[in-house]
Amino acid sequence: MKKFLFRTGIITAGIVLLIFVIKLFIGFFGEINQYKKMEARVEKIIDGDTLVISGGQKVRLLGIDTPELHHPDRPVQKYAKEAKEYLEKRVKGKNCTFEYNINEKFDKYGRLLAYVYVDKELVNSELVKKGYAYVYEKDDNRKTKEFLMLENVARRLKKGVWE
């Protein structure tokens, strides 16, 4: 009887471990597969975290929020112009890679939510690193932890909005 219980315990533990590994595997590859990339030319910069690509589609930089430049109820916030100018210098007129989650492709305003890469650099993180953007934590995305670390460094160095 003891051998039977021992074997059953070993088999049960093996099944639990196998299920755990399969869930990890599916979660890892599921997250990779839910993100797609596309190339497009940046035609216009609206503000520090919104731009327009060829074809007229508006894109909102995923995972970050820059100070308000065009808010109906608020004046222009500190570093809003600098954030827009930085984004303009980095991406306007350039072909960029836009990476988006196929399950959460657009925000409530119809803007594509995307990570923006130019010359293999993630522009979203550069804006946070320079203190021109805050981490937008309302949407949990796969780069939130990275962005929070960069924001913490910008705070400690008193860069941009953190001065």
Active-site residue set: 60, 68, 111
Note whether 90 and 118 are within 8 A (CB). yes
Q: Which two three-digit tokens encode residue 35?
A: 């993100």
H/E element, 83: helix 80-91
How many angstroms separate the CA atoms of 25 and 57, rounded? 34
How many angstroms separate the CA atoms of 161 and 77, rounded? 10
Neighbouring C-beta atoms of residue 124, cutoff 10 Å: 26
